[in-house]
Amino acid sequence: STKRTWWKEAVVYQIYPRSFKDSDGDGIGDLKGIISKLDYIKSLGIDAVWLNPVYESPNKDNGYDISDYQNIMKQFGTMNDFDVLLKGFHDRGIKVMMDLVLNHCSNEHKWFKEASKSRSSPYYHYFHWWPAEKGEPPYRFSIFDEKGYGWEFNKPTNSYYLHYFGDFQPDLNWENPALRQEIYTMMKYWAKKGVDGFRMDAFAFISKDTTWPALPAEYNGNWTLYYASGPHLHEYIQEMNKEVLTPYKLVTVAEAMGDVPRVKLFVDEDRNELNMAYNFEAIDFGYLPNEYKMPDPNGWDLVKWKGIYKKWDSAFTEKGWGTMYLGNHDQPRMVTRWGNDAPEFRELSSKMLTTFILSMRTTPYYYFGDEIGMSNIKFDKVEDYNDVELHTNYAQVKAKSGDMKRFLEGMKISSRDNGRTPMQWDTTTGAGFTTGMPWLKINPNYNTVNVAAAEKDANSCLNYFRKMIKLRKDNETLIYGAFTLVDADNPDVFAFTRELKGKKFLVLLNFRNKEVSVKTGIDVRKAEVLINNYTTAPVADKLRPYEAVIFKL
């Protein structure tokens, strides 16, 4: 939609606190570490930050298993640290979005510890149970379970509890109004502290059909789509909007699994639900079917990928608003996954991807470390990995006596831990991230890929990122302008125009490591070059390896 608001014009910078900056030498990032980097964050020119979960957690899924929604994770610091951090961001004009994990909590949360003791616990119905006297529960898929089984037997209550994710992440029973009120009270607690908004984790899954039918045939075995189609989903979101989001003017982005028709329902402003959504279709592109996150050895089809972006842009032309991202804590490093992390192309392709993220008709979400072109660490050994998702998938492949070497080769490209290695600040031991033993190994390329070196190089990824942000902020055409693919069948180049009130820009992105031709039918010989990731001028109709150019027509 064309309604103008700050969060449509904002660039959001995502901080994974565990890996950003460690202030006390325990090898784990913390809030005081982020506080020490507030001026750096401000220097990027971004408008808002998304903090991954900072609440108390046993960290079996690194904070996505919350054991206390109103206390700060011990390893990250204290509530006072949080208050200082929030004020530090606000003093610099930066808004703060917290990460809210509401589909499930940790099995160490008080609610579950009580509920799992007895069926008469007042918290018992904060969760979904299947009484064992009714026999085996109807099959449900689980994303982080080695057997992929979504019910876990609990002896004291002689019943099974539901978990779409790990068995340490029991799903919350949103069908229970008492639970929903507890959630809204907790959200108001953070809203009263001045938090500006929330990223709603796995939010499409919160409503369940408690008649527990078998997976309906029309889903063709797609559990994610079924989970994102609960009967009361939008009723609950509209209730949450009325009770909390609107009264406290909170901005929300939904991690909304699902297809265009489902995701549109979250963000159509006439429905008073959420503000923006990010989708998975483009980011999950290029994996082999039925092999979780195994990259296709033949690569991925750029023409199809362009079509996905066109589809999602069209979805939000009239109503709602989308997001653009190529990296986050669930993804590998964008320069490895979508660019080229070979030394000769890493910076070029990183700048090209940065141009892409910051020139679309969406709110850009930019992942910490991508501004210096951080790349995948590509672990050789399974022991180097921390991620529960990786270890679950490893066990699943092993259980089917799969090819473990091939699996680990694939995970060097796609595993989430590749995007979670510590920030590379400088060339001191621990990369300026920690003086202790880092919780996850630091990419050895920190000797050359680090903030300190980038600050001294006018042509670094970091300074290109700052330039691109300024270009976007100075040109509302790049924010609100209509998006039109050009040269759509070009297998190497992503080319599109942005147009608003007679101002027209042409964005050209070469996704290949070789010179390619581009046929947009647009004469650029008299056009102004607004930004280019090469130091010499671009030539018409040809693009150098990973060249990115934005022309003002």
The site for ligand TEU (CB under 6 A) is made up of 61, 64, 101, 143, 165, 201-202, 255, 257, 329-330, 389, 416
Of 2, 29, 166, 8, give the one whose Cα is nearest residue 85.
Answer: 29
CB contact set of 87 (below 8 Å; sequence gap of 6+) = none
**Angstrom distance (rounded) from CA 503 to CA 488:** 21
CB atoms within 10 A of CB 316: 21
Does the active-site annotation cover 344?
Answer: no
In the complex with ligand TEU, which residue's Cβ is closer, 15 or 468? 15
> Phi first, then psi: what are they for 444, rounded to 5°?
-60, -15
Q: How many whole angstroms separate alpha carbon 347 and alpha carbon 535?
A: 13
Pick the catalytic residue from 61, 201, 313, 389.
Answer: 201
State in angstroms the smallest separation of the CB of 112 from ligand TEU: 15
Of 165 and 226, the one with the shorter C-beta distance to ligand TEU is 165
Of residues 143 and 206, the one with the C-beta less far from ligand TEU: 143
Residue 348's identity, in one-letter code, is L
C-alpha distances out from residue 455 to 283, 316, 350, 371, 464, Å: 30, 37, 16, 11, 11
CB 293 within 8 A of CB 334: no
**Is 61 designated active site?**
no
**Which of 81, 255, 273, 389 is an active site residue?**
255
Closer Cβ to ligand TEU, 114 or 330, answer by number = 330
- The distance of closest approach from Cβ of residue 139 to ligand TEU in the complex, given in angstroms and rounded to an integer, is 19
H helices present in 242-359, as ranges = 260-267, 302-315, 334-337, 346-357
- Given the DSSP bridges, would you call strands 276-278 and 323-324 parallel, antiparallel or unpaired? unpaired
Nearer to ligand TEU, 239 or 330 (CB): 330
Report how far residue 8's alpha carbon sits from residue 17's, in angstroms, rounded to the nearest whole number. 25
Backbone dihedral region for residue 319 (phi beyond 0: left; psi -120 to 50: alpha; all else: beta): beta
Cβ-based nearer residue to ligand TEU, 200 or 506: 200
Residue 330 beta carbon to ligand TEU: minimum distance, rounded to whole angstroms: 4
- Per the structure block, which two tokens stand in for 116? 């799992």
CB of 83 to ligand TEU, least distance (A): 26
CB of 253 to ligand TEU, least distance (A): 12
Shortest separation between residue 531's beta carbon and ligand TEU, angstroms: 31
Known catalytic residues? Answer: 201, 255
